[in-house]
Homo-oligomer: A and B are copies of this chain.
Amino acid sequence: MAASLQQVQQTRSQVACNDCHLGELCIPQGLTHCDVERLSNTVRRNRTLRKGEHIYQAGEHYNSIYALKSGTAKLVHMDRMGSESIVSLLLPGELAGFDGVASGRYLCSVVALETVSFCELPSHQIDRLSREMPALYQVILQRTGGKFDECLERMRLLRRPADQRLAAFLLSLSERYRLRGFSHVEFRLTLTRQEIGDHLGLALETVSRMLGQFESAQLIAIEGKLIRILDEEGLQRYSPR
Q: B-contacting residues of A (Cβ < 8 Å)? A: 77, 79-81, 85, 87, 98-103, 107-108, 127, 130-131, 134, 137-138, 140-149, 151-152, 154-156, 158-159, 201, 240-241
Contacts and interface: CB of A to CB of B under 8 A. Distances in A.
Nearest to A83: B159
A201 B2 CA distance: 49
B152 A107 contact: yes
A87 B156 CA distance: 10
A102 B158 contact: no
B152 A98 contact: no
- Most central of A80, A81, A99, A159 by chain B CB within 10 Å: A159
Contacts of A156: 77, 79, 85
Contacts of A99: 145, 148-149, 152
Contact of A152 (B87, B101, B145): B87
A196 to B, nearest CB: 14
A194 to B, nearest CB: 15
A124 to B, nearest CB: 11
Oligomer copy total: 2
A149 B105 CA distance: 11
Contacts of A241: 80
A134 B127 CA distance: 8
A43 B56 CA distance: 39
Contacts of A87: 152, 155
A102 B151 contact: no
Contacts of A137: 127, 130-131, 137
B102 A146 contact: yes
A99 B142 CA distance: 10
A159 B85 contact: yes
A151 B146 CA distance: 12
A57 B140 CA distance: 25
Given A137-B130, A144-B141, A201 B102 contact: no
A101 B145 contact: yes
